[in-house]
Amino acid sequence: MEYNINTLPNFGVLEVKLDQSHIDLLYKYIKETAYEGYVFEGNEVVSHAKDNQWSLIDHDNVFENEVLKPAVNKYAETWGWPMNVKTTHYQDLEFNRFWTRITTNDQYQSLHDHQGLFSFNVWLKIPTHWQEEQAGDLGFAHPDATDFIFTYTDTIGRIKQYNYKLSPEIEGTMVLFPSDFNHAVYPGWTKPKGYRISVSGDISLSSLRVGDSLV
């Protein structure tokens, strides 16, 4: 008897471990655009303002050219484009939005998607560990506490969930995914010293021919 196993294609999530130079660059962007009231000691937030999210400026398109373009190319090589691209003309990547978010452990993001072709999230600072958050030592226990989650449907229409378990070990990691991939961030229960710092953005491609490279 002979069996053939066929795994049907689906879109995935690309993980990128950033070089230290690009991590330093993102912190530089955050500090130079931070609202009045934010105080940093090194890369730690020691004082903050009421607003916890603001836009960043990618000077000379350094992050776009050195990180995003190669990542988009790698994603397309692996899974293809997450939409039908019918044009025969090439234009460059369009960086629609670029922002940072600095949050306390009890803050969360409900399930949502983004506008664009690709979106990304970079975890710069994670002051908590998912094992402690999900242990229930404070009388609470939730299997998703502090997790960054994706939800999607499988081949028979069931809603599935993929969890990124956040801890300091994941700092400096970027995830790139289709913009209409639903995702959320669950709150935690502990009160750590420090804040969660992330950087996100949305990317669109105009007039890109399938098979073209962005480099």
CATH of the domain at 29: 2.60.120.620
Is residue 22 a contact partner of residue 67, using CB atoms and an 8 Å limit? yes
6, part of any domain: no
- Residue from 196, 174, 199 nearest 44 by CA: 196
**Could you give the angle at the alpha carbon of 15 between the alpha carbons of 147 and 127, nearest 5°?**
40
1, part of any domain: no
**3-class SS of residue 196:** strand
pLDDT value, residue 121: 97
pLDDT tens digits for the chain (215 residues)? 999 999 888 899 999 999 999 999 999 999 999 888 888 888 888 777 778 899 999 999 999 999 998 999 899 899 988 876 544 444 466 788 899 999 888 888 888 989 888 999 999 999 988 988 888 665 566 788 889 999 999 889 999 999 999 999 999 999 999 999 999 998 888 777 789 999 999 998 664 444 555 44
75, part of any domain: yes
pTM reported for the whole predicted model: 0.87
136, part of any domain: yes
Domain count, the chain: 1
- DSSP state at residue 57: -
E-assigned strand segments in the chain: 14-17, 39-41, 44-47, 53-55, 93-103, 109-112, 118-125, 148-153, 159-164, 173-178, 183-185, 196-205
**3-class SS of residue 207:** coil
pLDDT value, residue 209: 46
| Residues 6 or more apart whose Cβ sits within 8 Å of residue 66 | 22
9, part of any domain: no
| Residues 6 or more apart whose Cβ sits within 8 Å of residue 178 | 11, 82, 117, 118, 119
Rounded to whole angstroms, how far apart are CA atoms 162 and 174? 16
Q: Give the structural domain span for 121.
A: 14-205
